[in-house]
Structure 1
Amino acid sequence: MSGLQSFEGKDICANRFRDGLAASECQAILHPAGQIDARLAEAWGDLAMAASEPNIFYEHWFLRPGLERFDHHPDLRLFLLWAGEPGHSLLLGLLPLGPDSRFGRWPVPHVQNWMHHNCFLGTPLVRKGFEQAFWEQLLIVLDGSNWPGFLHINGMTIGGPLDRALRVVARAQKRRCDLVYSEARALLQSDLGSQAYFEATVRGKKRKELRRQTKRLAELGDVTFHHRTDAEDLDRWIDEFLQLERQGWKGYGGSALDSSDQTREFFRDVLRGAARGGQLERHDIRLEGTPLVMLVNFHSGAGSFSFKTAFDEAFARFSPGVLLQIENLRLLDRPELDWMDSCAAENHSMIDSLWSGRRHIGRFSVELEGVSRRTVFRGLRLGEELMGRLKGRTIIDPTEGQA
């Protein structure tokens, strides 16, 4: 019997801990990132389903292939917060983190959550209701560790439950917690249905042009749209995606997934893992059976993430990526999903013209205890603020003015 299956009354335990009646029972540990057994994987999956803020990039089926395929610091750890005995109780929180010798261009040692080039969100996985307990226990562990510098959290949602909890804990402990960078990327979220949203968001002239492009494309042959949530023919579909992306500008520039063994196999691993968990969606538009554009989405709870798109640049005049994203708007008609994160760069010309919502993502730097650590932190922050003023940088905090 597995650890979670043998752990009786997990909901009762969660409620007791949330009420502060069993706080002394929790255990926070730094677990070697390469040692993930079946028991931890099961607890991890249970945590993801109950997370305060969904983040597929830190779910087991996505993070583990990244750890296996990409380079990382040998001291990288999984911070795990357990409700009781590790491996035999409820997993309350998880964050991959470790030491880093450089902070941007500066040789400043610090501790940072781990992300790679295909990881687009760094918000920790924390069970709903345990946000403050997570940060309190993480800071206790880091204060007592021999890791240098300060804590840097990269890619966290601004204004969400984890951000709010971190600021509350930092204020209560009288330690600085600074938002040092922010950006806004496209978010699909609305009470409108897909057609009403499309008409409200995209101007009439643009809609007319898209109808014209759809008609002209149809004149070339049989155009079909496909939406799959199963694993049937998945490997063949993956091969088509990799080939389609490789033959475009990413392939010429060496940044396509198929440009290296590491990214190619990582992509295969995560799509297979998502399919096993029922969290994968595949979309494509085909002309006479040949893919023109392909899209990968992942779901977690009520949230969704648009991960990768590839299209045939020979058909760019028909805007196949836009046409597929119009089909993707049907997410708004599905009651089980509340939103989709574009995972796109800020000011992305295509998706920003279709999605009117914005999700604010930021980087946070947090003081750790110790005279030398505080000295490093405050010296760095002073330098960052001076450079920001000289270059006219503005950090937008959408939570300013909120209680």
Structure 2
Amino acid sequence: MVAFHICELSLAQMEAARFEWTRLAAQALEPNAFSAPGFLLAAARHFPSVERPRFIALRGDDGRLFGLFPLASAGLSGSDGFIRLWRGELSALATPLIDPARPAETIAAFLDWVEEGSAAAGVLFPRLCASGAFRAALGEAARGRRDLAHLETHARAALAPGGPADEKFVQAGGRKRFNEIGRARRRLGEMGVVALDVAVAPMDIKAAAEAFLALEASGWKAGRGALLSEASLATFLRSATRVLAEDGLCRIAALRLDGKPIAMAILFDSGDRSYCWKIAFDERYRAQAPGVQLLYELTRLQLARPEIELTDSCAIANHPMIDRLWPDRLEICDAAVSLRAAAFDAACRAELARRRARDFAKRAALLLLRRKAS
């Protein structure tokens, strides 16, 4: 039985612990590039203060780092009924990093620590892989002691090994769709020299990140979601890609027409997982589907990497493009674990009501934007 020492660490302390944090990320029970030092340190430095993670570390008696649980900026306040693990808007997963040696014990110790320091009804673990090793360990830690509920689940596109890229595309979108992609690719080839390059070295990543920001800002997202339109987010992307590249965990792919990038994608690696985090394309070539053409080339490259067991699209559920290209699916869940059983059900109901209200507001805003555009 391991005795854990649990405390919150400052940003400076996390920076000092980067080496052992990197080791934990590489050996974690379940990989997650969005909990690696490159991503989380950049978020803690550059996100607005109310969106920055707070770091809860679990160490053994020998000082070994057994777990890292990033909390939302509210920490242990739990004013809305839940202590929330951090889930940044640019983070596709929120799976905490834990050592595989004592996974259930590590999670149980964290839950006990939160219970002692908070009056909240439960702890909310957002964006977990529903069939992943962490979710299984969470269930084991809760079994017989705490209630566990899934507040939300959805499936998103993923790419698993098995078969060439052509087969994957046909399986996902059908033969007719695949033929349409081929015709668009030929039309693009008639316009000039089409080439793919992938930046991996840190200096190449630095230049590629700037090109990505410029490409994204040139399209419909300009002023409405483009990272370059918010200085803090642009700085975050530069920092995250640079540090992850230093650890060999970042790639930026570019599809070029006569040397000019017309579609780009940023990928992160962690363990046997790869994450297609961001994609942008030049809308002047929309008819030739440059984003789809880039993903076709990336599909071939990812399937040829023997160390990668799954490439996560990081996309929303039912994405109109990637769902018709990649046939595999990854189920994502938001899991809630009780701290105080008497208040847990009510807290879950209130959280679900908040989410329904939020989704309704988003749909109403989208409808209004469409009406203004027409």
* TM-score between both structures, scaled by the size of structure 1: 0.82
Higher helix share: 2
Q: State the match for 2:90 in structure 1.
A: 118
Structure 1 residues 386 and 212: CA distance shift in structure 2, 3 A: closer
Q: 1:338 deviation in Å?
A: 0.6
Structure 2 counterpart of 1:62: 39
- The answer to whether the 8 A contact 1:242-1:258 is kept is yes
Contact 1:153 1:363 survives alignment (8 Å): yes
**Residue aligned with 1:209, SS:** helix
Spell out the pairing of 1:277-288 with structure 2 (5 A cutoff). 277-288=247-258
State the structure with more CA Rg. Answer: 1
Alignment of 1:215-294 (within 5 A): 215-253=186-224, 255-294=225-264
Closer, same or farther in 2 for the Cα pair 1:33/1:151, shift >3 Å?
farther
CA distance, structure 1, for counterparts of residue 7 and residue 331 of structure 2: 30
Distance 2:278 2:349 in 1: 38
Pairing partner for 1:92 from 63, 66, 69: 66
Cα deviation 1:284-327 (Å, max 9, x = unaligned) = 11111111000110111110000111100010000011111111
Displacement of 1:128 in angstroms is: 1.9
Which residue matches 1:46? Answer: 23
Instruction: Give the distance between the partners of 1:320 and 1:92, measured in 2 at CA.
Output: 44
1:346–1:211 distance in 2 versus 1, CA, 3 Å: same
Which sections of structure 2, spanning at least 5 residues, go unmatched?
357-374
**Letter of the 1:61 counterpart:** G
Deviations 1:140-190 (A, max 9, x none): 1111113534211111111211111111221221x2111111111111113
Q: Which moved more, 1:256-265 or 1:143-152?
A: 143-152
- Cα 1:308–1:183 change in 2 (3 A) is same
Aligned residue for 1:381?
348
3-state SS in 2 of match to 1:349: coil
1:151 corresponds in structure 2 to 123
Superposition map of 1:95-244 within 5 A? 95-98=69-72, 100=74, 108-146=80-118, 148-173=120-145, 175-244=146-215
Q: Which runs of 5+ in 1 are unaligned?
A: 1-19, 390-403
Query: Measured at CA, do residues 224 and 256 of structure 1 come closer, stay the same or move farther in structure 2, by a change above 3 Å?
Result: same
Aligned to 1:17: none
What whole-Å deviation, never above 9, does each CA across 1:53-82 have from its counterpart, x for those lacking one? Answer: 110111011101101111345996312122
What code does the residue aligned with 1:154 have?
P
Q: Which residue of 2 aligns with 1:9?
A: none
Partner letter of residue 120 of structure 1? A
SS of the equivalent of 2:150 reads strand
Residue type of the alignment partner of 1:378:
D
The TM-score with structure 2 as length reference comes to: 0.88
Do 2:205 and 2:251's aligned partners in 1 also have CA atoms closer than 8 Å? no
Aligned counterpart, 2:8: 30
Alignment of 1:354-369 (within 5 A): 354-369=325-340
2:365 matched residue in structure 1: none
Q: Distance in 2 between matches of 1:119 and 1:75?
A: 12
Show CA shifts across 1:337-372 (max 9, x none).
Answer: 111111000000100001111111111121114xxx
Distance in 2 separating the partners of 1:34 and 1:98: 18
1:256 CA drift (Å): 0.3
SS in 2 for 1:325: helix
| Aligned pair partner of 1:315 in 285, 298, 318 | 285
Residues 1:357 and 1:109: Cα distance change in structure 2 (over 3 Å) = same
What is the count of residue pairs matched by the alignment?
357
Q: Distance in 2 between matches of 1:91 and 1:101?
A: 20
The residue aligned with 2:370 is none
Deviation string 1:245-268 (CA, Å, 9 cap, x unpaired) is 101111142x10100110010010
Code of the residue aligned with 1:381 in structure 2: it is: C
Contact 2:128 2:334 in 1 (8 A): yes
Whole-angstrom CA distance in 2 between matches of 1:77 and 1:296: 26
> Residue 152 of structure 1 contacts residue 363 of structure 1 at CA under 8 Å; is this kept in 2?
yes
